[in-house]
Amino acid sequence: GNSVTQMEGPVTLSEEAFLTINCTYTATGYPSLFWYVQYPGEGLQLLLKATKADDKGSNKGFEATYRKETTSFHLEKGSVQVSDSAVYFCALLDTGRRALTFGSGTRLQVQP
Amino acid sequence: DGGITQSPKYLFRKEGQNVTLSCEQNLNHDAMYWYRQDPGQGLRLIYYSQIVNDFQKGDIAEGYSVSREKKESFPLTVTSAQKNPTAFYLCASASAGANTDTQYFGPGTRLTVL
């Protein structure tokens, strides 16, 4: 079946540092890929997505590129801020039932 | 404002009781979903519905039930058969058609069994 693997957290960075959160997936075909962000006590917000190979999703300075060769969708940001502190989830869309399969989440802590 | 609402935000239940979590959306979306989140884990699919009056079991449906009588509403009942119901429950919806990929989430309900 489908699965998503994310790097374990927490990831602790200083403000303005470079961020990478690794995400790899196992799936049949080429599913759409997503990054969601969750702030404490809240639901999930869509951060970015990519629907086909070599697509780059971007939003609020975050980027991720759909790499079918390495089945990866790593999240990057050039300069993180304290306000980026949250839990980040990588997910893929099951094309059969059109529901999401999530990774376990990576907590990011940005220190001033 | 268009969006998804979930109520209540916090819910406490005694063992042996059934409780119902509300999920309402005014985005005119056909598809709705329920996920469960446990600490330090990703979300797992409980039930989903692609259209009114139809729904399917997800990966962890045992001990849960749903109904989809209206397009806007997809309530989840946590029954006494659910062995470990304490968790954060998230509802989501998505449109059908060309842009079916993106799911939008509600703020969640935190259920605690006393």
- What one-character-per-residue DSSP string does B86-100 give? -EEEEEEEE-SSTT-
CB-CB contact of A104 with A10 (8 Å): no
pLDDT confidence bin for B100, thresholds 50/70/90:
low
CA distance B41 to B39: 5
CA distance B86 to B114: 9
Question: Does the pLDDT of residue B30 top 70, yes or no?
Answer: yes
CB-CB contact of A65 with A90 (8 Å): no
Contacts of A7 in chain B (CB under 8 A): none
Looking at residues B74-101, what average pLDDT do you find?
Answer: 86
Encoded amino acid at B63, one letter: G
Token output for B88 = 């954060």
CA distance, residue A43 to nearest chain B CA (Å):
4
What is the chain B residue with the closest CA to A46?
Answer: B104
Q: Which of residues 48-107 of A touch B (CB under 8 A)?
A: 49, 51, 89, 91, 93, 97-105
Question: Does the pLDDT of residue B99 top 60, yes or no?
Answer: no
DSSP A23-48: EEEE-SS---EEEEEE-TTS-EEEEE
Contacts of A89 in chain B (CB under 8 A): 42-43
CB contact under 8 A, A105 and B40: yes
* HSE-CB of B82 using CA atoms within 13 angstroms: 26
Question: Does the pLDDT of residue A25 top 70, yes or no?
Answer: yes
Among residues A73, A78, A98, which one has the least CA distance to residue A88? A73
Looking at residues B74-93, what average pLDDT do you find?
Answer: 94
Question: Does the pLDDT of residue A35 top 80, yes or no?
Answer: yes
CA distance B57 to A7: 29
Cα B31 to Cα A35, A76, A106, B74: the distances in Å are: 20, 31, 27, 10
Question: Does the pLDDT of residue A48 top 80, yes or no?
Answer: yes
What is residue B1's predicted lDDT score, i.e. its pLDDT?
60
Encoded amino acid at B93, one letter: S
Checking phi first, is residue A53 left (phi over 0); if not, alpha (psi -120 to 50) or beta? beta
CA angle (A106 as vertex; A57, A37 as ends), nearest 5: 50
**Residue A4 at interface with chain B, using a CB cutoff of 8 Å:** yes
CB contact under 8 A, B42 and A51: no
